[in-house]
A and B are shown apart, each in its own frame.
Chain A
Amino acid sequence: NAGVTQTPKFRILKIGQSMTLQCTQDMNHNYMYWYRQDPGMGLKLIYYSVGAGITDKGEVPNGYNVSRSTTEDFPLRLELAAPSQTSVYFCASSYSGTGSEQYFGPGTRLTVT
């Protein structure tokens, strides 16, 4: 199993551009999550999904959108990128919502200039 994979690994965007961060898991997990991690800060939840077709906002959803058309994929869309979105983005998945381990992808380092 590849686990959770994310693409791209690195990206530089200009202010106002848009992009999609890809996330795929091959563990048949129902739950998927997107986090961002700023330097010296804890991970903040952006969006999460409890199954295909269902998404919900986390702590910091503004400026982002997600979709979950399949169990495996959970892309994160940035519209009109801003410097405040410079961060490391981690996708994660878990089998269930109650105490099961979250498995993280390797992250995408995004810089907006």
Chain B
Amino acid sequence: RKEVEQDPGPFNVPEGATVAFNCTYSNSASQSFFWYRQDCRKEPKLLMSVYSSGNEDGRFTAQLNRASQYISLLIRDSKLSDSATYLCVVRTGTASKLTFGTGTRLQVTL
């Protein structure tokens, strides 16, 4: 079983739609959780951290379910500029060693 699993997509949604991605992780000792965004042929950039109580940043909402070991990302009112690959990232142990999922590709269309 992969340490971090994501549906690769692509998710094709029209502008203005709401879309949700899920991610599961295998190590119950994982401590920190993140969503990174990666544009085509670019480096990953932090989108948001994911907290146990859930957190929101504008149109983006992240949730963590430790019991079921999954993380979700909800994007409301999708924009063309949201088209990218979204990487689910988990930290387990010290030294900030991160484990990356393979990513979920989102394509927002007119």
Contact = CB atoms under 8 A, between A and B. Distances in A.
| In the A-B complex, the 9 residue pairs with the closest CB atoms | A104-B43, A42-B100, A97-B96, A43-B100, A99-B32, A97-B95, A42-B102, A101-B46, A104-B44
A50 B49 contact: no
A74 B45 CA distance: 20
Interface in B26-60: 31-32, 42-46, 49
Interface residues of B, number: 22
B106 interface: no
Contact of A45 (B87, B97, B101): B97
B79 interface: no
**Count class of interface residues, chain A:** 20 to 34
Interface of A: 31, 35, 40-45, 48, 50, 56, 58, 90, 94, 96-102, 104-107
B1 to A, nearest CB: 14
Interface centre among A35, A48, A50, A104 (most CB of B within 10 A): A104
A11 to B, nearest CB: 16
Nearest to A56: B95
Contacts of A105: 43
